Amino acid sequence: MMSINPGVASAGSTSGASLRKDGDPASMSSEPNKSPLSPQGGGHGRRAEQVFKSLAVAAAAIIVGSIALIALFLLIRAVPSLGADQVNFFTSTEFNTGDADNLRFGIRDLFMVTVLSSAFALIIAVPIGVGIALFLTRYAPKQLARPFSMLTDLLAAVPSIVYGLWGLLVLAPYLKPIQHFLNDNLGWFFLFADGNVSIAGGGTIFTAGIVLAVMILPIITSVAREVFALTPTAHIEAAQALGATKWEVVRMTVLPYGRSGVIAGSMLGLGRALGETIAVLLILKTSADAGGWSLFDGGFTFASKIASAAAEFSAPLPTGAYIAAGFVLFVLTFVVNALARFVAGGKVNG
């Protein structure tokens, strides 16, 4: 290394001489090439090194610890309320915390609305996200690919409350005819059956799902873009040499190579959709009846239920009911995100 880069070597020897004067011969006697990653300092330096390293380890420990604390404290607050629950927590559709002596809360309906809206969002967003990623990595002109990518990333910069405003005040009226059409013509299918809120009001899972799809699009796109860009050139050139058209190249090399990345990106998007709070809270209309797995139902997701009651968090037992719902949401997103990481076989950025 010294011979390759004589400039560094000579600079090293001159300032090394001045260092030697400071009475720090240990650092010069150790061979830098043998152990470049653990140079030995003097006694004072070693203590500073220890302090710095412990700070870094402590910061990492705080992050690991905070996840454990989140699980712990949510559980601590939720358990007394779960004990006081008069109905089955998992199968009841009630969520009535008005009377602290007679708590009746269950998550069946919350779970249904959460899963249905997120799954619907995912079904819309994944194909479009993959299409965008393919366009940006394989089709767009090289000079335009970067600005175009930034445009799609900008979708992630819009605050969720603004998406909520958009969905509630602007998008919902436009979706009304589509929803009426689906309801009238495909009403025999459970997803498009009559829901427990009126379609004319616009506050259906259908509307919320489309807004959620827009919100998770940038995550799916950016993860898919990353893996598609990593497709080995040799694979692509081999396909081209066999006379494949551009689409065939994509189908035979890029898509199979990026499959795990697309799945991981979708899981990250799913995690984001499951936990989205304010946009869903603004859009979904409430209903007195339990839902029946229709896209035209209303109601609450875990997150929007908690947020809707946030102003009333005072008595510990009713609040614990919402914290219990929050714990379920925490577990759900934990599993989904862990799966995403597992599928990608390592780190995924979203």
* Among candidate residues 77, 60, 21, the one with its CA nearest the CA of residue 327: 77
Q: For the segment 144-163, give every residue that binds other proteins (CB under 8 A).
A: 148, 151-152, 154-155, 157-163
226 is a site residue for other proteins (CB under 8 A): no
Kindly state the tokens that stand for 95.
Answer: 């969520």
Measure the CA–CA gap between 272 and 121, rounded to whole angstroms.
11
Q: For the segment 24-63, give every residue that binds other proteins (CB under 8 A).
A: 24, 27-28, 32, 36-39, 41, 45-46, 48-49, 51-53, 55-60, 62-63
Give 11 or 292: the residue with its C-beta nearer to other proteins. 11
Size of interface with other proteins, in residues (CB under 8 A): 111
- Binding other proteins (rule: CB under 8 A), the pick from 103, 122, 136, 283 is 136
312 is a site residue for other proteins (CB under 8 A): no
Among positive and negative, which fits the CA dihedral 291, 294, 296, 300? positive
Give 87 or 339: the residue with its C-beta nearer to other proteins. 339
Give 112 or 224: the residue with its C-beta nearer to other proteins. 224
- Binding other proteins (rule: CB under 8 A), the pick from 105, 226, 307, 317 is 307
284 is a site residue for other proteins (CB under 8 A): no
What string of DSSP letters covers 209-232?
A: HHHHHHHHHHHHHHHHHHHHHTS-
Measure the CA–CA gap between 341 and 346, rounded to whole angstroms.
6
Tell me how crowded residue 64 is: count the other CB atoms within 10 A of its CB: 9
Q: For the segment 56-115, give every residue that binds other proteins (CB under 8 A).
A: 56-60, 62-64, 66-67, 69-70, 73-74, 76-77
Least spacing, CB of residue 231 vs other proteins, in Å: 15
Give 46 or 259: the residue with its C-beta nearer to other proteins. 46
Strands (DSSP E) along 72-230, which ranges? Answer: 95-96, 104-105
Kindly state the tokens that stand for 293.
Answer: 């797995």
Give 32 or 177: the residue with its C-beta nearer to other proteins. 32
Encode 99-115: b = buried (16+ Cβ within 10 Å), e = exposed: eeeebebbbbbbbbbbb
Task: Tell me the H-state helices in 168-254.
Answer: 172-186, 205-229, 233-241, 246-249
* Among candidate residues 287, 261, 271, the one with its CA nearest the CA of residue 329: 271
Measure the CA–CA gap between 270 and 112, rounded to whole angstroms.
15
286 is a site residue for other proteins (CB under 8 A): no
Q: For the segment 240-259, give every residue that binds other proteins (CB under 8 A).
A: 243, 245-248, 250
- Binding other proteins (rule: CB under 8 A), the pick from 202, 261, 271, 318 is 271
Q: For the segment 322-341, give every residue that binds other proteins (CB under 8 A).
A: 322-323, 326, 329-330, 333-334, 336-338, 340-341
- Choices 83-91, 94-102, 290-298, 321-329; region in contact with other proteins by CB under 8 A: 321-329
